Amino acid sequence: MISRYRARVSLSAIPLAKPSTDEAEVNAVAAVLQSGWIAGQGPMGTELESAFAQLARTTSGIAVSNCTAGLHLLLATLGVAAGDEVLVADYSFPATGLAVMYCGATPVFVDVRADTATVDVDLLEQMISPRTRGIIAVDALGMPADWHRLERIAQNRGLFLIEDAACAAGGELNGRACGGFGDAAVFSLHARKGVTCGEGGVITTNDAGLAAEARQRANFGMSSAFQRQAGETFTLPDFSSLGYNYKLSDILAAVALIQVSKLRQFHERRQALATTYGETLAGMHGITVPHVPPDRTPTWQTYAVTLDEGIDRNSIILGMRQQSIACNIGTYSLHRLPVFDSIRSECPTSRALFERHLALPMFPDLTISEQYRVVDALARVMRQAT
């Protein structure tokens, strides 16, 4: 009995997500510290911007302090203000709706497709009003949204279109890269995301004017201090626009640069794990594995199964935790959150996913034996629940 107990407690806990770093990131930090430029918009930031522009196949990138700041920065630069409405995919992290509120504008939440958890474009089209200024759609949990249709609608109706690509570094739709859709996109470099430096974000866009203005506004409305110090003239910044301090430190940019260089290898690992989950969980009672339409490549930032109606998802999370395995919800149904209380809307599909999605451990360093432990534990916990 005692030895069995020991065997149980000696099993290490399996986290939901874990950043994958090695000496390369440590060395990159050391090099920046020694370089003398550790603030934002320095050489590392510029390199990171190029790396993300290449990834998204856009002409510009703008490094920012996080994805939420990037979304706010874009909306502010596009002139979104009180009285405006922005259509927002309902199944997302709160940041997507909060960024609209920071501008004093109103997020209008649109329900999502049940299979991809991305915005339902037919519904969205019906919800355009005279006050609608634009759209923020989301690559939900790393699954690309229906960008071709969204781009057509935005263009025909004169709306801006922003891609919340927080979870989508490396994702593709019909051969086009995530981060390259709409007027501009924002990636997150938070610890839970596919490439990370702890906290950070990058905007990508093909609109050079928007990029230049957003980059200035991320630095109080002035040009980069690193560039100014090297200029041949001395000019004082004029502070003519409402600027913010949304820069990403060059220390963090250097870490993110190393991570981007590993993206392909991270993606292959996540894809292999997703395939194994799909094969081993497909027949499990009470569970539906994610569906991937043939035209898109998700990033598997989150691997979420859908539990049958009537199964108490939160008690499954607790049951898994008792076996030292961290699970979680998929993400949030924004219209259900008190902070968005004043905005009435009906999004039954998003609400159901909010209640029934179960995210399983998913990160590049998850081993195959750990993954089998997850599957075995889930089978046990599900048997008890159904």
Ligand X SMILES: *Cc1c(COP(=O)(O)O)cnc(C)c1O
Taking residue 286's Cβ as centre, other Cβ atoms within 10 Å add up to 17
Q: Which is nearer to ligand X, 41 or 92 (CB)?
A: 92
Options 17-25, 162-170, 173-181, 254-262: segment touching ligand X (CB under 6 A): 162-170
Token output for 4: 């069995």
Residue 68 touching ligand X (CB under 6 A): yes
Location of structure tokens 């990029």: 211
Closest CB 145 distance from ligand X, rounded Å = 11
Runs of H (alpha helix) within the chain: 2-10, 23-35, 43-56, 67-77, 95-102, 121-126, 147-157, 208-217, 225-230, 250-261, 263-281, 313-322, 348-356, 368-385
Supply angle C-alpha 78, 79, 85, rounded to 5: 95
Residue 91 touching ligand X (CB under 6 A): no
Output the CA–CA distances (angstroms, integers) from residue 300 to 138, 142, 369, in the order listed.
14, 6, 19
Count of residues of this chain found to bind ligand X when the rule CB under 6 A is applied: 14
Closest CB 185 distance from ligand X, rounded Å = 11
Q: Which is nearer to ligand X, 144 or 319 (CB)?
A: 144
| Sole binder of ligand X in the list 60, 77, 92, 205 (CB under 6 A) | 92
Q: Which is nearer to ligand X, 256 or 378 (CB)?
A: 256
Residue 164 touching ligand X (CB under 6 A): yes
Residue 138 touching ligand X (CB under 6 A): yes
| Sole binder of ligand X in the list 20, 58, 66, 371 (CB under 6 A) | 66
Phi and psi based region of residue 41 (left: phi greater than 0; alpha: psi -120 to 50; beta: remaining)? left
Using DSSP bridges, classify how beta strands 357-360 and 287-288 pair: parallel, antiparallel or unpaired. Answer: unpaired
Site for ligand X in 6-45 (CB under 6 A): none
Location of structure tokens 């399983």: 360
Closest CB 105 distance from ligand X, rounded Å = 17
Using DSSP bridges, classify how beta strands 296-297 and 172-173 pair: parallel, antiparallel or unpaired. Answer: antiparallel
Residue 259 touching ligand X (CB under 6 A): no
Taking residue 174's Cβ as centre, other Cβ atoms within 10 Å add up to 11
Options 60-68, 121-129, 220-228, 377-385: segment touching ligand X (CB under 6 A): 60-68
Residue 96 touching ligand X (CB under 6 A): yes
Closest CB 12 distance from ligand X, rounded Å = 26
Q: Which is nearer to ligand X, 198 or 209 (CB)?
A: 198
Residue 204 touching ligand X (CB under 6 A): no
Residue 166 touching ligand X (CB under 6 A): yes
Taken as a whole, the chain contains a residue count of 386
Output the CA–CA distances (angstroms, integers) from residue 25 to 28, 33, 55, 140, 192, in the order listed.
5, 13, 20, 28, 17
Options 4-12, 35-43, 93-101, 267-275: segment touching ligand X (CB under 6 A): 93-101
Closest CB 215 distance from ligand X, rounded Å = 18
How many Å apart are CA 12 and CA 172, to the nearest integer? 35
Options 16-24, 61-69, 123-131, 288-296: segment touching ligand X (CB under 6 A): 61-69
Options 124-132, 164-172, 311-319, 341-349: segment touching ligand X (CB under 6 A): 164-172
Options 12-20, 24-32, 104-112, 160-168: segment touching ligand X (CB under 6 A): 160-168
Token output for 277: 């989950």
How many Å apart are CA 239 and CA 220, to the nearest integer? 7
Residue 110 touching ligand X (CB under 6 A): no
- List residues binding ligand X (CB under 6 A): 66-68, 92-93, 95-96, 138, 164, 166-167, 188, 190, 201
